[in-house]
Amino acid sequence: MSLAIAARATWRDYYELTKPRVVALIVLTAVVGTLLAVPGWPPLDALVLGNLGIALAAASAAAINHVLDRRIDAHMSRTRGRPLPTGHVDARHALGFAVALGAASMAVLFLWVNALTAVLTFASLIGYAIVYTVWLKRATPQNIVIGGAAGAAPPVLGWAAVTGTIDPHALLLFLIIFAWTPPHFWALAIARRHEYAKVDIPMLPVTHGVAFTSLHVLLYTLILCVVTVLPFVTHMSGLLYLAAALLLNGRFLWHALHMKRSDAPELPMRVFRYSISYLNWLFLALLVDHYLPLG
């Protein structure tokens, strides 16, 4: 049976184990953290090897998540097509792949970047792959709030890859992603609440209802709007970033308010999709402002 599964597995199946879209967003925020850490261009080895190590760790955490969630993934329409539920990849092979990625990440970071980045990256990997997936996800409807710390770490990791320190400005970037995570994920949870209920995952809309969750999406979006102004207030970024943040926040608030006031079934996924674009554009605005400041 194992040989038959291995024969069916392709590079594409293993690629899907890494959750490439999620990793791409993680790497973007880490790269921005790396580039913002210094006035000009960072050392090439820190930029390339630091973010390679971070990307490998993120891919490892994603693959471990696939292994640990394979049984509930098989019962959810959003995830039943993943390589483990379909039987294209054996769980043991997937775990071996994850361990290899994690080991490669630690080797790159310890040998060619610095120990602080390696330790923080390993802690983030364990935080998402083990603490969140194994415990928090099934323990509390506040799972995504508490577990969001692991997902918010990449800019700090990228910053540490250059400076070897944890800088207050890097923590601002962490805070932005930390505040962004609940409205981003709860919008998806509203759209998929029946599937989460079927597999006994206590997501907020399952335990407290859609109206309550929509209110909290709106409240966290308001918090996010305040947090995203802090880089300008602290003189980390200038007017170009501020203008982009205000425009992006206005659109996010409009989406969140619309979802709070309407039961239209398409709105939660609309908020979810916009939240991804929002974070991409916000971090790109930070980067452009860093190199083309207007004030």
pLDDT at position 8 is 67
Residues 6 or more apart from 71 whose CB is under 8 A from it?
none
CA 74 from centre of chain: 22
Is residue 14's pLDDT more than 60? yes
Q: What's the CATH superfamily of 1-164?
A: UbiA prenyltransferase (1.10.357.140)
Average pLDDT over residues 148-152: 92
pLDDT at position 195 is 94
pLDDT at position 9 is 79
pLDDT at position 295 is 56
pLDDT at position 78 is 87
Q: What is the pLDDT of residues 177-200, one digit of tens each?
A: 999 999 999 999 999 999 999 999
Q: What is the pLDDT of residues 207-248, one digit of tens each?
A: 999 999 999 999 999 999 999 999 999 999 999 999 999 999
Average pLDDT over residues 202-206: 96
Domain ranges of the chain: 1-164, 167-295
Average pLDDT over residues 48-54: 98
More confident residue, 203 or 7: 203
pLDDT at position 146 is 87
**Which run of H or of E encompasses 114?**
none
More confident residue, 77 or 154: 154
pLDDT at position 2 is 45
Distance CA 46, CA 33 (A): 11
> How confident is the prediction for the chain on average, in pLDDT?
94
pLDDT at position 54 is 98
Q: What is the pLDDT of residues 93-143, one digit of tens each?
A: 999 999 999 999 999 999 999 999 999 999 999 999 989 988 889 999 999
Average pLDDT over residues 19-45: 96
pLDDT at position 5 is 46
| Burial class (CB within 10 angstroms; exposed 0-12, middle 13-18, buried 19+) of 229 | middle
Question: 29, 288, 38, 291: which is closest to 162 by C-alpha?
Answer: 38
Q: What is the pLDDT of residues 61-78, one digit of tens each?
A: 999 999 999 999 999 988
Binned at pLDDT 50, 70 and 90, residue 24 comes out as very high
Q: What is the pLDDT of residues 249-279, one digit of tens each?
A: 999 999 999 999 999 999 999 999 999 999 9
Q: What is the pLDDT of residues 83-104, one digit of tens each?
A: 999 999 999 999 999 999 999 9
DSSP secondary structure of 143-194: HHHHHHHHHT-HHHHHHHHHHSS--HHHHHHHHHHHHHHHHHHHHHHHHTHH
